């Protein structure tokens, strides 16, 4: 194979969605709706699509494997401590470690992070559409983006 063909690859732009296997769609909507504000785009007996602006989670009925150990996905929120308090009120067991991790009722491991503290960035018009235009990245997050030549202007 020539170097030209080997070097040509698609560039990943981001993660559009995550698909989670759950035991029951209504229970999944109730569980995640207990601590997150989201829009239900579509739902059926076997699937539901919940949107956070321009990204979504697809709940799919039919989890058969055991609980996740290290495999997880992260949800960036505007108020991580509010999520922590709400999960505790819901009786959800938080996992040991430096992150706000827990298992949903079907064993999917979830990590909650604060949007302003991480590099991941929503476009200004998407934040505005979500009513979150007040969120501003911390200097550390901006510095990490600046180091990559991606700091917001």
Q: For tokens 């949800």, name the residue.
A: 75
**Domain coverage including residue 79:** 17-64+71-147
Q: What is the pLDDT of residue 134?
A: 95
Q: What is the pLDDT of residue 92?
A: 98
Q: pLDDT, tens digit, for every residue of 11-42?
A: 888 899 999 999 999 999 999 999 999 999 99
Q: pLDDT, tens digit, for every residue of 70-127?
A: 999 999 999 999 999 999 999 999 999 889 999 999 999 999 999 999 999 999 999 9
- Does residue 131 fall inside a structural domain? yes
- The total number of structural domains in the chain stands at 1
- Does residue 9 fall inside a structural domain? no
Q: What is the pLDDT of residue 7?
A: 74
The tokens of 43 are what? Answer: 């739902």
- Does residue 153 fall inside a structural domain? no
Q: Domain holding 52: CATH number?
A: 3.10.180.10
Q: What is the pLDDT of residue 12?
A: 86
- Does residue 129 fall inside a structural domain? yes
Q: What is the pLDDT of residue 108?
A: 97
| Whole-number Å distance between alpha carbons of 3 and 90 | 55
- Does residue 7 fall inside a structural domain? no
């Amino acid at each position: 194979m020539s170097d030209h063909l080997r070097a040509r690859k698609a560039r990943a732009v981001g993660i559009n969605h995550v698909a989670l296997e759950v035991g029951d769609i209504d229970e999944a909507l109730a569980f995640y709706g207990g601590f997150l504000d989201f829009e239900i785009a579509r739902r059926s007996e076997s699937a539901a699509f919940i949107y956070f602006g321009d990204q979504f989670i697809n709940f799919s009925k039919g989890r058969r494997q055991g609980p996740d150990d290290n495999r997880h996905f992260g949800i960036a929120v505007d108020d991580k401590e509010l999520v922590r308090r709400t999960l505790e009120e819901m009786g959800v067991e938080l996992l040991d470690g430096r992150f706000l991790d827990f298992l949903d009722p079907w064993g999917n491991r979830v990590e909650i992070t604060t949007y302003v503290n991480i590099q991941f960035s929503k476009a200004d018009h998407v934040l505005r559409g979500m009513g979150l235009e007040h969120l501003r990245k911390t200097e550390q997050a901006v510095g990490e983006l600046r180091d990559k030549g991606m700091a917001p202007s």
